[in-house]
Structure 1
Amino acid sequence: MKMSIGQTIEIIYLDKAGKITQRKIEVNGIREGRIRATCLTTNAPRVFLESSILSWQLARENRYA
């Protein structure tokens, strides 16, 4: 499975301080190992290193929103 621009995905991420977090993000761009995205938890733009994503999957739809 390959992530694509416009997808909403859930990731498990290892940040540079060594902290593991789980986030739901909307992918805005992918280039040179960096993923530009909007973090849907904080509604803020973020850049994630592809090499620091430990796991990812397509986000499940929230049918009750």
Structure 2
Amino acid sequence: MKLIRIKRNTRNEKRYNSKMGILYTRVTYIKEVIFGIPVRTLHKYRETYYGKIKDCSECNLAR
């Protein structure tokens, strides 16, 4: 049994971009898991309408 694993989870979220306004997109989280408990988020990214991968730091959750 592995103690430390890397787990990927995708969910739909509401994001805000200054140019586009409110944006509903699929956000993928890559998390480090120890004994089934998530410890920290290593990276999160989203895919644009054109298939380009972007980091989630470009979109704000608040206006």
Query: TM-score interval w.r.t. the shorter chain?
Result: 0.3 to 0.5
- TM-score, normalized by length of structure 2? 0.45
